[in-house]
């Protein structure tokens, strides 16, 4: 079993270039309520949290970065380096994002609005939560 669930995003590219279209409840398995993007990261690792309910899809639009996913039992990692691949991150997955390339632009799609109460930012608290 792997925690890495990659979505092939529909690419309508032709001789003029690439065109990826993303729709809620189509290639993305939830309704998108929020998106945010991370860039100019200065190669500072980030994440270091899990969400209680939130689901996300991460798409590296430019450059590359590494996701380490952890469900408290298993850890898997993947280098995201394609704007046509989405990494599905289910709830209760601890995530760390590292090795940002200087040009990395990372887009995150989420199924809920921002809610600090949905975050678990302490790793031991995360382990306690997934073991109950």
The CA-based angle 73-78-53, given to 5 degrees, is 55
CA distance 132 to 128: 6
Closest CB 7 distance from ligand TYD, rounded Å: 20
Taking CB under 6 A as the binding criterion, the range among 10-18, 21-29, 42-50, 61-69 that sits at the site for ligand TYD is 42-50
Contact track, ligand TYD, 95-114, x by CB under 6 A: -------------------x
| Closest-CA residue to 37 (of 10, 19, 64, 58) | 58
In sequence order, the β-bridge partners of residue 89 are 56
36 makes contact with ligand TYD (CB under 6 A): yes
According to the binding rule CB under 6 A, does residue 37 interact with ligand TYD?
no
Q: Specify whether 73 is catalytic.
A: no
- Helix, strand or coil, per DSSP, at residue 36: strand
- The enclosing H or E element of 111 equals none
Q: Which spans in the chain are helix H?
A: 123-130
Query: Which range, of 15-23, 30-38, 70-78, 86-94, touches ligand TYD by CB under 6 A?
Result: 30-38
Binding residues for ligand TYD, rule: CB under 6 A, are: 34, 36, 38, 46-47, 49, 114
User: What is the set of active-site residues?
Assistant: 49
């Amino acid at each position: 079993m792997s925690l890495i669930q990659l979505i092939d995003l529909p690419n309508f590219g032709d001789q003029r270039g690439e065109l990826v279209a993303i729709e809620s409840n189509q290639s993305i398995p939830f309704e998108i309520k929020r998106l945010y993007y991370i860039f100019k990261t200065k190669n500072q690792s980030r994440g270091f949290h899990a969400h209680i309910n939130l689901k996300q899809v991460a798409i590296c639009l430019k450059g590359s970065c590494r996701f380490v996913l952890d469900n408290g039992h298993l850890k898997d990692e993947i280098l995201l380096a394609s704007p046509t691949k989405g990494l599905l991150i289910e709830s209760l997955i601890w995530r760390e994002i590292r090795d940002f390339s200087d040009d990395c632009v990372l887009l995150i799609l989420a199924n809920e609005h921002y809610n600090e109460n949905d975050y678990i930012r302490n790793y031991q608290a995360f382990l306690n939560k997934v073991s109950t």
